[in-house]
Structure formats: C-alpha cells, structure tokens
Structure 1
C-alpha cells in the first residue's frame, strides 16, 4: 500500500503543477488582450461602433481584429468567453493553499513567535484576510474614489502595504507572502467573476433584447481589467517567494513586498506604453533595478538598521550538536537541500 506521506507529496506537486498551467493560460490571455487593446488603430471606414482594429500575423496566418467599444449592432453567432482561465487558476490556487498551508498549518502557517494561535484559528484568519481583502478593494472601486484611476491606484497601494505589514504579524514570513499573493490573486479573479463577466453578460442580454447597451458597464470592466494587468507580476513574485527565504525571512519582509508591487507596476508600464506606441520608457527598467537592489540590501543587511549583533553565541544545547563529528555533513545537507524552502 502506498505510503500516505508519499501520496500527499505527489498531490501537492500535482496541485502546484495545475496551478502553474492555469496561471499561464490566464496571464497569457490577459497580457495578450491588454496589448491588443493598447495597439488598436483607428482609421476611416471602420464599421459603425468599431473603436479600432489591429492586423496581426502568427502561426503562418494573418488575423484581422476589430474592437467595439460598447457592442456591435447585432449579436454575433459565435462568441468566445475568456473566464475559465481565471476561475481555474483561483480554484487550483485555493486547493494548493488547503493542501500545503492548511493541512500543514502548524509548520507552514503558524509561528508561535509571531502569534501564538492554534491551527484552526490560523486557518480562519487566513480565510478572513482573503475575503476582507476583496471586500475592501471592491468598496474602494465602487466609491467616488473609483472615478479617478490614479487616485484609486495610490489608495489601493497604501492598503496593500498595510495588509503586507499586518500579515507579517499574523503568520510566518513565508505564509505572509503567500497570503498577500492570495489576496491579490483573489481580487483579480473576483474582478473577472464578480464584475467583468457579469457586466459583459448585461451587454449581451441588451443586444439579444434589441436594447442599446449602456457603455458604463464596459468602462467599469476595463478599469478592473487594467488593475489585473498591473497586479499580475507582483503576484508571480509573491507566489515564487516561498522558495526563497531571503525574500520573506527578514523583519523587513513587508517592505520588500511593498517594493515588489512598485517594480511590477513599472515593468507593466513599460510594456503597456510600448504596446500603445507611445514611446519607449526605458527608465522604468532602471527604476525597477534600483528598487530590486534595495530589496537585496534589505534582505541581507537588516542588522545594520536594527543594531543587532552580527553573531550570537550558540546555546549549551546547540554546542553538543556542533561538537559532533557529523555536524559538518548535516550542516551542508541542510544548507544545500532544505534551507531554500524551510
């Protein structure tokens, strides 16, 4: 009979793999449509209601794409929806959260030195932070602040910084980073499930009923889609960070996470600007590089800021193990095979 630990390890691997597959599908389609939208060209002679068009070549053929800012005059016979990539990514991500962090809450989720709580309480806190994160974001978007894209993004960034700081006072550093990524990814997926797709369905229903669609539904959906576009790269960093303790294993981990969001915005701003044919803002890469150097410094030189001694004497109990002839081999094994994840 298969050992349960082996089965569970393979289950964890399978869920991670599925999450990566679905994430690639979602991110790929998201990046493509943002690039397509920004690259649309207007010309005389476009069909009534068409905002712009784009000619593309790929895979040995040419594609002619036109975008209707609100909707075409009639409902097309065939309509392709892009939504399951988002749903599958979130569901597989939540499954991974359950398999790894909830099933192993005592090891991966909870740190008694941070907050001494039981596993069930930690899981409830985890679920609450994910849900509250979406509610706060959605309320801000629906508030009068939502009319200003720049103002809304600045406030949302401040909220994310506060969440990053708060999570590091609830969970392990590793779990804090993953939960910040999970909250952000939930916002992105909920944007699709709760706003973008429902708004598009309203427009489709109006077309079928012969009514003129309200353009505000498309405007709202586009704003949420733009948020998703800028949040993607920070989420990828946060999800990958669990393999790199240098990112989360410092008391400045919440600062590192906050800087990562700025780096992600800078990189996406570069690509969005290029796709829109509005220039080549290479300064964004310089800014991202400078911020990344600051992150490296924060991860390796925290004691300079805190005044802590560079080294501390080993305890009497630890000295017993250090004195063992096998200690160097064990140390090398742990550093080479375990430390990157644990």
Structure 2
C-alpha cells in the first residue's frame, strides 16, 4: 500500500501538470481573442458584413484577421473551434479536486473545528455547491438583471462574496479558497460548453441552411465571454492560494477571497481599455495595490486552527500504534517543528509552510503520507537539509510509514 501512496503522489502531479497546461492554453486563447476583439479597426477596404480587421506580426510572418459579427456570406469547409481548451481545463481541474481533496478529505477538505461532518457529506456539499453556482449564475444572466451589464456584475459579486463566506463555514481554509476557484471556473467552462459554443453552432447551422442568423446569439455569447475574461485572474489566485497560508488560514480569508475579485476586475479593465485604444487607466493599478495591501493587512489577523493538531483520523490512530512511531515522531519534531508550528521560530519563516503543523504526535500522524514523501522517500524537507536530518532518521520515517500498511 505504501507503493500506492507514491503512485498517488505521481498521479496528483500528472493531473496537476495537465491542468496547468490546459489552463495556459485556455487562458492564453481567451486573452488573445479579447485583445484582438477590442483592437479591431474599421477600414474602407472591409468586405461586406465585416465588423473590423487587424494586421499582426508573429513568428516572422504577417496575419490579416477579419471579424464578422454574424458571419460572411459563405463559410469555408474548415472552422477552428476554440472549446477543447476550456473543457479539458475543467475536467483536469475536477480530477485534481477528486485526487487531492476528495480522497484526502479527512485532511484537506474537512476541518472538525469548523464543521464536524463526515467526509462523504463534505464531498456532497462540494459537488452540490459547484452545480448550484452555475444554476444561480445562469438564471441571473437570463433574468431581467442580465440586461444590465453593470447591474449583473454587482449582483454576481454579491453571490461570490456570499459563497466565499459560506465555504469558510464548511471546509478547511485551504479547501474554501480552492472551492472558490472551482466554483468560478465551473461557471466559466459551462459558459463555453452551454452557451458560447451552442450559440455559434446555431449561427453556423442557419448559414448552411440559407437562413439569416439572429444577432442575439452573438450578443449573448459575447456577454458570457466578457464575464469569463474578468473572472480569469481570481481563479488563478485561488489555484495558487493553497501554497500560501496567509491567504487561506486566517480569520478574514473570506474577505481576502472577495477582494481578490476586485483586483482581477481592475487589472482586466486596464488591459481591456488599453487594447480598445481608449486610454491608459493607470488608476486601476494604484487601486489594485491599495486593495492588495489591505489583503496583506487582513492576513495578519488571528490564524485558524487546522483541526489536524488534536483530532486523529482513523488512519492516524493506526499509525500511532506502530512501534516505530515514537522514533519517527521525535525525528520530525526535532527537525521540522521549528518551522511547522503555530509560531515558527526559524528566522524568516512567519507561517507554517502550507499551514502544516508538525509539533505534536497527532498532527504528525495525520500528515504521515506528506511527511514520508517530503522527508523520507525524498529529501525535499527540510529545505537544503538545514536542520541536518540524518539518513537514519529518514529511513526510520519510511519504515514507520511502510509498516503501517496505509
């Protein structure tokens, strides 16, 4: 079973790698087309029905791009559809959620200090909240509120703030941040799969049948694409947040999550304005810096308990019965606890890395797999072996973990 733990770690790495690759492809194409759309120029030489054009240079060649709001009088046999990037980003992200948070629910998803629920209950809440997010968002877009771009954005921000708070009342701080990313990314991917691509297919079908496509389909798709554009940067923050306890493990983590949406909107507004050649709103950067300083200040508030220090999981209970546990635990406390504690004493370390506490036997047992992989099977921890962990101590950690049969 210990070999399975190593396999699972590599599976997590592979899924994470895939997720990053597909996200780069999706975000890259999204940013490119937003910039292209905003930078289109109207020229006297445009063909009938064309909305604008752009000349670009890249890779030693020149590109002449024209956009049609509905479609030209004819369509070529081959059309490139930009959709698979979004689909595989969501699928790989969901798989990562399953691999890390659902299979590791006792450690990463459930915090008994926040809400004492079984792992299966937390997983159901997770799945239900993601579906709930899309249903509420889609209903708002299709309601009369959806006719006002500004009004809709304000209401959506309210929904996101409410969800930021709600997630922190159910999950660990780390999982709460991650779920805000999943909640938002699901809306974005569903926009592509459920609205943007179907609307484009309706237009294509009308053209092939000799009908004049209704311009409303393009208008609706453009609104959803605009939302995706403004939501992208916050999603990236949430996906990175699990590495930074100051973002997820403080009392005001839900406020931090809410403010990140404002930062994302401000930054995208700057670039969208620049690409549309409507000026340089430098004030957006100034305001973003102010908000980010506020976020940093909020992160100095009271820290949240992780739940891993005092409540052993069923697996941890078995691990603590091992005859090697005392020696392994002493090695970890002696070599790791100066950083992995509520108040680190190692100079330059203000927070326990990833909010992992290793200053007591229960927490060490709860994090057994992480300890074994980071400090047993590999020499990743301590960093640079600054505390001089010996090979014998690493072997003891591996023996303890392997002996457990977990």
| Distance 1:56-1:326 versus aligned 2 partners, 3 A rule | closer
CA distance in 2, matches of 1:338, 1:169: 22
Q: Which runs of 5+ in 1 are unaligned?
A: 304-314, 316-323
Counterpart of 1:258?
A: 258
Which residue of structure 1 lines up, in the alignment, with residue 50 of structure 2?
Answer: 50
The equivalent of 2:201 in structure 1 is 201
Corresponding position of 2:182? 182
Alignment partner, residue 66 of structure 1:
66
Checking the alignment, whether the CA contact within 8 Å between 2:52 and 2:66 is kept in structure 1 is: yes
Is 2:147 the counterpart of 1:141?
no
1:1-342 matches, within 5 Å, as 3-302=3-302, 329-332=335-338, 334=340, 339-340=353-354, 342=356
The 3-state SS of whatever aligns with 2:128 is helix
Secondary structure of the structure 2 residue equivalent to 1:56? strand
In 2, Cα distance between the equivalents of 1:326 and 1:132?
A: 42
Return closer, same or farther for 1:201/1:62 CA change in 2, 3 Å cut-off.
Answer: same
Are 1:145 and 1:152, in contact at CA under 8 Å, matched by a contact in 2?
A: yes
Contact map agreement 1:242 1:341 (CA 8 A) in 2? no
Q: Greater shift after overlay, 41-50 or 270-279?
A: 41-50
Residue 311 of structure 1: aligned partner: none
Q: Point out 4+ residue stretches in structure 1 off by more than 4 angstroms.
A: 324-328, 335-338
Q: Distance in 2 between matches of 1:25 and 1:84?
A: 9
Using the TM superposition, give the Cα deviation of residue 251 of structure 1 relative to its aligned residue in structure 2, in angstroms: 1.4
Shift in CA distance, 265/78, structure 1 to aligned 2, threshold 3 Å: same
Partners of 1:127 and 1:14 lie apart in 2 by: 23
Deviation at 1:280, TM superposition (A): 0.6
TM-score, normalised with respect to structure 1: 0.91
Q: Structure 1 residues 38, 329: CA separation in 2 closer, same or farther (over 3 Å shift)?
A: same
User: Structure 2 length normalisation: TM-score?
Assistant: 0.77
* Offset of residue 44 of structure 1: 1.4
Q: Deviations over 1:40-81 (max 9, x none)?
A: 000113111100000000000000000001111112222100
Secondary structure class of the residue paired with 1:3: helix
Q: How far apart are 1:221 and its partner, in Å? A: 0.2
Q: Would the aligned equivalents of 1:168 and 1:176 in 2 still touch at CA under 8 Å?
A: yes
Q: Secondary structure at the match of 2:191?
A: helix
**In structure 1, distance between residues paired with 2:79 and 2:331:** 69
**Preserved CA contact (<8 Å) 2:252 2:301:** no
Distance, in Å, in 2 between the alignment partners of 1:290 and 1:280 is 18
**SS of match in other structure, 1:52:** strand
| Residue aligned with 2:111, SS | coil
Q: 1:326 to 1:168 in 2, by over 3 A?
A: closer
**Structure 2 residue runs without a partner (length 5+):** 304-309, 311-329, 357-406
Q: Report the counterpart of residue 364 of structure 2 in structure 1.
A: none
Larger Rg: 2
3-state SS of paired residue (1:63): strand
Size of the alignment, in residue pairs?
323
